[in-house]
Amino acid sequence: MEKTLVIVKPDGVQRGLTGDVLRRLEAKGLKMVGMKMIWIDKELASRHYAIHTGKAFFAGLIDYITSSPVVVAVFEGRAAVQMVRNLAGATDPLAAAPGTIRGDFGLEIGRNIIHGSDSPENAATEIALFFRDEELYEWPRDTERWISEG
């Protein structure tokens, strides 16, 4: 099964939306295999957002993601990366469809509630930044036969 990293960003935590965000992912059928609340420091933030180094918005992005605690989670399921991205909606909440997390809860691109990995390869890298192997759990979900055909 594919795994992906999800971050409920500072605005999501501060607005009390963590439960709503995680509930939507679980309701879809994705299985949570790891979760914790952390306060990201600048060094970890810089590693996580390294692809944006040198861009005009980089400093603001680092300041924002380190401004408050976040909830990081790992979800597992068929096409988990794409499923989370579909549920999250477009990066700019103004372009995000109603019914998506960003479409329902966001107003500004800089306060868009959720991060989800953009590829299985990046998911593996991101998960390793935030979780040690022993913090991820393989567990049988009794409802699996009602969620997945195989």
48 noted as active-site residue: no
Q: What is the mean pLDDT of the chain?
A: 96
- What are the domain boundaries of the chain? 2-138
pLDDT at 17: 98
pLDDT at 83: 98
Q: Which residues pair with 5 in a beta bridge?
A: 74
Give the orientation angle of helix 120-130 with respect to helix 80-88, to 10 degrees: 80
Closest CA to 61 of 87, 74, 88, 42: 42
User: Residue ranges of the chain with pLDDT lower than 70?
Assistant: none
Please tell me the pTM assigned to this model: 0.95
Give the orientation angle of helix 80-88 with respect to helix 18-28, to 10 degrees: 130
Helix (H, G, I), strand (E, B) or coil at 140: coil
pLDDT digits (tens, 9 = 90+) for 52-93: 999 999 999 999 999 999 999 999 999 999 999 999 999 999
Catalytic residue among 115, 117, 123, 126: 115
Provide the CATH number for the domain formed by 2-138 in this structure. 3.30.70.141
| Sheet with 31-38, side-by-side order of all strands | 31-38, 70-77, 2-8, 114-116
